Amino acid sequence: MPDRYIIISGPSGAGKTTLVQHLLAAMQELGFSVSACSRKKREHETNGKDYYFIPVEPFRQWIAEDAFLEWEEVYPDHFYGSLKSEVDRIISEGKFPLFDVDVVGALNIKKHFGSKALAIIVVPPSVEMLKTRLSSRKTETEDKLKLRMEKVSMEMARAKEFDHILVNDDLEKAKTEAEGLVRDFLVLSKQV
């Protein structure tokens, strides 16, 4: 049974989801842990694939029932979390769980699994570039963008708590680096 966990994190717009998609395509031994959230589904998203979209009150109930490996109220009534059932599902398929989570969630998962988890934070070359990336998405109101940017400084300050800091200034280079880190971690874990 796989007992290694891969955690990819970073501020919104840093490129973590793109790197997760690359890892899933390149490494069949990984299984994506679909996170849960209480926000509304966006037009291009699919329930059960991008997230499990759970209304606020049922989300609170699942918290009370200890259904989450980790969870956080990122903004008022905007909960995100990693379901224990997702980890069980992936392991039962004989794969290593791969998480795409925010910084606090990532560090909570790392704390839970310790040396069995590889925690990588993806950071932009600069905060200004990150703001440009987020603005170009056109998925955020000006107020939401401001909230995200306020969160970035906290997230960047915690980067040193991760196993690796991956600067995404060249996407192809970042893909190669992420894949190398994960492959090395899984190979080393087999030797222990």
- CATH code of the domain covering residue 16: 3.40.50.300
- As a whole number, mean pLDDT of residues 151-168 equals 89
Question: Rounded CA gap, 152 and 13, in Å?
Answer: 10
Number of domains the chain contains: 1
Closest CA to 133 of 120, 149, 150: 149
pLDDT tens digits for 107-146?
999 999 999 999 999 998 766 766 666 666 666 677 776 7
Question: Rounded CA gap, 27 and 6, in Å?
Answer: 12
pLDDT grade for 1, boundaries at 50, 70 and 90: low
Residue 75 backbone dihedrals phi, psi, to 5 degrees: -135, 160
Residue 76 sits at the vertex; the CA angle it makes with 72 and 81, to the nearest 5 degrees, is: 20
User: Are 117 and 4 contacting, i.e. CB atoms less than 8 angstroms apart?
Assistant: yes
Tell me which DSSP letter residue 160 carries: G
pLDDT at 46: 94
* Range from 4-18, 131-145, 163-177 carrying the lowest mean pLDDT: 131-145
Q: Any idea which residue has 């910084």 for tokens?
A: 103
Residue 8 has pLDDT above 80, yes or no: yes
According to DSSP, the residues that pair with 152 across neighbouring strands are: none
Pairing of strands 68-75, 78-83: antiparallel
Please report the DSSP string for 96-154 in residue order: EEEEE--HHHHHHHHHHHGGGEEEEEEE-S-HHHHHHHHHHH--S-HHHHHHHHHHHHH
Question: Rounded CA gap, 64 and 137, in Å?
Answer: 35
Compute the chain's Rg from CA coordinates.
16
Question: Rounded CA gap, 104 and 18, in Å?
Answer: 20
pLDDT at 106: 96
pLDDT at 173: 97
pLDDT tens digits for 77-100?
999 999 999 999 999 999 999 999
pLDDT tens digits for 13-47?
788 999 999 999 999 999 999 999 999 998 889 99
Q: Give residue 38's domain range.
A: 5-191
pLDDT grade for 52, boundaries at 50, 70 and 90: very high
Task: Provide the 3-class DSSP secondary structure of residue 42.
Answer: coil
Closest CA to 109 of 80, 130, 82: 82
